[in-house]
Amino acid sequence: MASVLNISAYLFTRIDDTGELRPLLRERAVAAGLKGTILLAEEGINLFLAGDAQGVRGFVAELRADPRFAALTTKDSWSDAQPFGKMLVKVKREIIRMDHPTIRPEGDRAPAVAPATLRRWLDSGHDDDGREVVLLDTRNAFEVDYGAFDGALDWRIERFTQFPDAAAAAAPDLAGKTVVSYCTGGIRCEKAAIYLREAGVEAYQLDGGILGYFEHVGGDHWSGDCFVFDEREALTPGLAPRRGAVA
């Protein structure tokens, strides 16, 4: 049985002491035997960690004891081997770079669609108001090539900073439709949905991203695997490493 717990999580929340928090979180993570990456910015936290279940869950519980991180939720998967080589904690300008500082999800989140709701919409071919549903992949092109929702829009962006220009150009074609943006864990599609709504598009984010969809719904309306940024390379809709990757 797979014994290494892998988690991904993010939370947009105001952090004014990133410099002081960085060594503290690294010390806690190393003491818990964890490896992976934690990104800190004024806008929030983004983390990818792996280790034994007790160590991972203890670290997350201690993190949530800070009121700023109390709402942090994780996407969990398992592997036979540790997919990270070291433990890194970095301070960045943004936890996901968009180069649009007015997009601040910690202040006002875009509406989210639960995985079960999205599956129901896709099953029926429209949302609850009878509007056409458009799935929008906000990931980089090479990630999309591993797998995607059937029929999703793919703007072939090479980095997320290209998303705003692509969205501005496509906004007129999205008018009158219900757009659901999605990404691996939710962080990119959350910013994307806010940007789209400011451009006049009826946009929502997929709550929990692809990994959350896999966890709650499985692989319905999905083809392929989901790229992840560790040695597992990609996960199947069953949240198992793809064949040939680190198990």
**Which residues are known to be catalytic?**
183
Taking a C-beta distance cutoff of 8 angstroms, is the pair 91, 18 a contact?
A: yes
Contact 206, 179 (CB under 8 A): no
Q: Are 48 and 229 in contact (CB under 8 A)?
A: yes
- Given a contact cutoff of 8 angstroms between Cβ atoms, the answer to whether 8 and 75 are in contact is yes
What span, in angstroms and rounded, lies between the C-alpha atoms of 135 and 118?
10
222 CB contacts (<8 Å, ≥6 apart)? Answer: 147, 148, 149, 150, 210, 213, 214, 237
Strand order from edge to edge, sheet including 74-79? 74-79, 4-12, 44-51, 35-41, 87-91
